[in-house]
Amino acid sequence: MKNKFSYKIFAVTLIALAAAVYTFIQANDEIIIHWDLNGNADGYAPKEIILILPFLIPLIDGLIIWISHLDPRKNNIQKSASGIQAVRFIIAAILFICTILTCIETLYPKTLNIEVIAPCFVGIMIMIIGNILPKIRSNYTIGIRNPWTLHSDIVWQKTQRFSGRLWFVCGIAVCLFSVMPSFSHLLMLAMIFFIIILPNLYAYYIYRKMRKENTYDRN
């Protein structure tokens, strides 16, 4: 399974690299690297940058593997292998799609509706991560990690379940808002803020409640 997944990462990197090389050959001196909230290009960089993007896929994937090997709770990492693998694939997919979108917009400007595609893509990623969170056991690498979740399996489990539901619902909302004419980017940013802050507040609430009831358990 590990070898098969490595082959997938290699294949994704190879496709992204082929697209990047083709774009590099066809492009002028600069490529688009940033768009404003209305989908208009407002940031450019030397076209050599496009050749770097594909290599971020194996680089960051290798970094995740390395960090997970250093995790003090290796047993839980191994038991959460499918969830960790899914997160690795999501990150690889994000980098791959960013590379492809950059290539398309560089070669065919304004072909894509970036102001709709970008937030919708973010929403889908949030939904997928929300589905993964409850499946990941206590560790220092991936998940909602704070002093309360890391010191109690019960707090960890409840927080990941709560976060999973919250992330999934917010991901759907972001996708829906992205295709609405009146979509507000500030609203999307607010939702991302909530999915980061609320799980930590919830973890603290569970921790305080368990301490009060003398049911707090440590790992």
Q: pLDDT tens digit string along 120-166?
A: 888 888 999 999 999 999 999 888 999 999 988 999 999 999 999 99
What pLDDT score was predicted for residue 132?
92
3-state secondary structure of 31: strand
- What predicted TM-score, i.e. pTM, was given to this entire model? 0.80
Please state, in angstroms and as integers, the Cα–Cα distance from residue 74 to each residue in 3, 67, 96, 198, following that order: 20, 10, 29, 27
151 token code pair: 């010191």
Per-residue pLDDT reduced to its tens digit, 90-106: 889 889 988 998 888 88
Stronger pLDDT, 186 or 47, i.e. the higher one: 47
Using a 10 angstrom Cβ sphere, with 0-12 exposed, 13-18 middle and 19 or more buried, the burial of residue 38 is exposed
Neighbours of 108 (CB within 10 A): 9
Q: Is the pLDDT of residue 74 over 90?
A: no
190-219: average pLDDT: 82
Q: What is the DSSP letter of 141?
A: S
What pLDDT score was predicted for residue 1?
45
Q: Is the pLDDT of residue 53 over 50?
A: yes
Residue pointed to by tokens 């290796």 = 74
Residue pointed to by tokens 């997944």 = 5
Please state, in angstroms and as integers, the Cα–Cα distance from residue 81 to each residue in 69, 77, 144, following that order: 12, 6, 17
